Homo-oligomer: A and B are copies of this chain.
Amino acid sequence: MATTLRKNREIKIENKLNEEPVSKDNKVIYDTRGLNLWYGETQALKNIDLPIQENHVTAIIGPSGCGKSTYIKTLNRMVELVPSVRTTGEILYRGKNIFERSYRVEELRTRVGMVFQKPNPFPKSIFENVAYGPKVHGIRDKKILKDIVEKSLKGAAIWEEVKDRLNENAYGLSGGQQQRLCIARCLAIEPDVILMDEPTSALDPKSTLKVEELVQELKKNYSIVIVTHNMQQAARISDKTAFFLNGEVVEFDQTDRVFSTPQDLRTEDYITGRFG
């Protein structure tokens, strides 16, 4: 298995770390503590502890059905769209528990953007897609909107391809372009964290590459959590990797370590292709 080695991070984060870190560089932006989640009767997440660091790319890997999507959707409480969902434990976003009653989920989602597995642009023009978030948040000024749209499209590395057809329907774009458009849409509200759920799994190789490059680029300004079933991808782009299995975090460490010297036998089995 070809693992692309990444420059080593200075500080090794203990798995199941509980103390708040001090150095700016590894400030924990999202801290999951003892998270359990049930869909009705079936438990999808089991006692998850997972600190996510600022300006890092954290990859979540694991076989199908292990709870990757569920976890990432819990981070912005999107999982609650499923009516039967129940959670215990806490997730601290910048120190505040997002499950608290007074916590306004819309506010959370304004800070935390999300990109989905299948590109899901709105059936509107490219411009409207990107402008949707700012508009919702009350920005009406045409000029500002235009600036935001341009900036976001540039940030998502798609500006050149679409700048002449901003008023065309987003569904005229190719899958890869659509996905980058969705990233642009998410950048338009200037989030803090970007959650990505298998953002390249529906894309062709070339588009995949583009998105991967983009992720590397975005890391400078955003904290990124990315779910992927493609281990090579995780190895290529992430700083830290969490391996999920049956709703549990089996292993969480620096990416290179997870792929070179996995601590858990199950992790090894998985990355050597024994299952999945």
Q: Are the CB atoms of A273 and B65 closer together than 8 Å?
A: no
Q: How many copies does the complex hold?
A: 2
A204 touches B273 (CB 8 A): no
Q: Among the listed B1, B64, B204, B276, which residue makes an inter-chain contact with A275, where contact means beta carbons less than 8 Å apart?
A: B204
Say whether, besides A65-B204, A204-B63, A204-B65, A209 and B275 are in contact (CB < 8 Å): yes
Among A62-102, those with CB < 8 Å from B are 63-65
A205-247 Cβ-contact flags toward B at 8 Å (1 or 0): 1101100000000000000000000111100000000000000
The answer, yes or no, to whether A2 is at the interface (CB within 8 Å) is yes
Point out the residue from B65, B202, B205, B273 that lies within 8 Å of A230, measured CB to CB.
B273
Are A205 and B273 neighbours in the complex by a CB distance under 8 Å?
A: no
Instruction: Indicate whether A12 reaches chain B with its CB closer than 8 angstroms.
Output: no
- Chain B's nearest CB lies how many Å from the CB of A46? 16
Do residues B205 and A63 form an inter-chain contact, with CB atoms below 8 A? yes
A205 lies within 8 A of B2 (CB):
no
The yes or no answer to A18 lying at the interface (CB within 8 A) is no
- With a CB–CB cut-off of 8 A, which chain B residues contact A120? none
Q: How far is the CA of A231 from the CA of B231 in the complex (A)?
A: 13
Q: Answer yes or no: A274 CB below 8 A from chain B CBs.
A: yes
Q: Is A272 an interface residue (CB 8 A)?
A: yes
Please give, as numbers and ranges, the residues of chain B lying within 8 Å of A63 by CB-CB distance. 204-205
Q: Give the chain B neighbours of A209 by CB distance below 8 A.
A: 274-275
Mind listing 20 A-B residue pairs with CB under 8 Å?
A1-B1, A1-B2, A2-B273, A63-B204, A64-B201, A64-B202, A65-B204, A205-B269, A205-B270, A205-B275, A205-B276, A206-B275, A208-B275, A209-B274, A209-B275, A230-B273, A231-B273, A232-B273, A232-B274, A233-B273
| A residues with CB within 8 A of B | 1-2, 63-65, 201-202, 204-206, 208-209, 230-233, 269-270, 272-276
